[in-house]
């Protein structure tokens, strides 16, 4: 993928952005999601599922299931993968932006 196309993908999938995709493939190290952009996959690695405890492949969402995740990085070496996190703390931060307390003046 050329530089301009890759930069366009990165602007479509910004760091910290909540996105959704369908589970396409289970790998021993995580799952791949189908995203709207052609030829681009989302990857949620095992450490990016849970805040605590151990995730293993037996807990993966089913193939075809819709999964929500947050963009946390890009695979710059192959320019075909967006790194995602589905940790509850990361999802919460992306979906509920922090606001100043109403009492602060």
* Domains along the sequence of the chain with CATH: 3-95 (2.40.50.140)
The whole-number pLDDT of residue 93 equals 86
Measured distance CA(74)–CA(40) in Å, rounded: 11
Sign of the CA dihedral running 42, 44, 48, 49: positive
Q: Answer whether residue 12 shows pLDDT above 80.
A: yes
Greatest distance between any 2 Cα atoms in the chain: 51
Q: Answer whether residue 100 shows pLDDT above 60.
A: no
Using DSSP, how many helices (H) and how many strands (E) does the chain show? 2, 5
Residue by residue, DSSP assigns 49-88 as: T-SSS---GGGPPPTT-EEEEEEEEE-TTTS-EEEEE--H
Residues 14-54 have pLDDT tens digits of 999 999 999 999 999 999 999 999 899 999 999 999 999 98
Q: Answer whether residue 76 shows pLDDT above 90.
A: yes
Measured distance CA(41)–CA(81) in Å, rounded: 5
Backbone φ and ψ of 89, nearest 5°: -65, -35
Backbone φ and ψ of 85, nearest 5°: -130, 135
The whole-number pLDDT of residue 50 equals 93
């Amino acid at each position: 993928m050329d530089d301009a196309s890759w930069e366009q993908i990165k602007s479509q999938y910004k760091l910290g952005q909540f996105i959704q995709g369908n589970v396409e493939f289970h790998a021993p190290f995580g799952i791949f999601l189908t995203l709207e952009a052609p030829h681009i996959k989302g990857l949620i690695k095992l450490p990016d599922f849970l805040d605590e405890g151990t995730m293993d492949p037996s807990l993966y969402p089913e193939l075809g299931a819709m999964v929500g995740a947050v963009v946390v990085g890009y695979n710059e070496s192959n320019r075909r993968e967006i790194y995602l996190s589905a940790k509850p703390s990361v999802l919460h931060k992306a979906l509920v932006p922090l606001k100043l307390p109403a009492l602060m003046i």
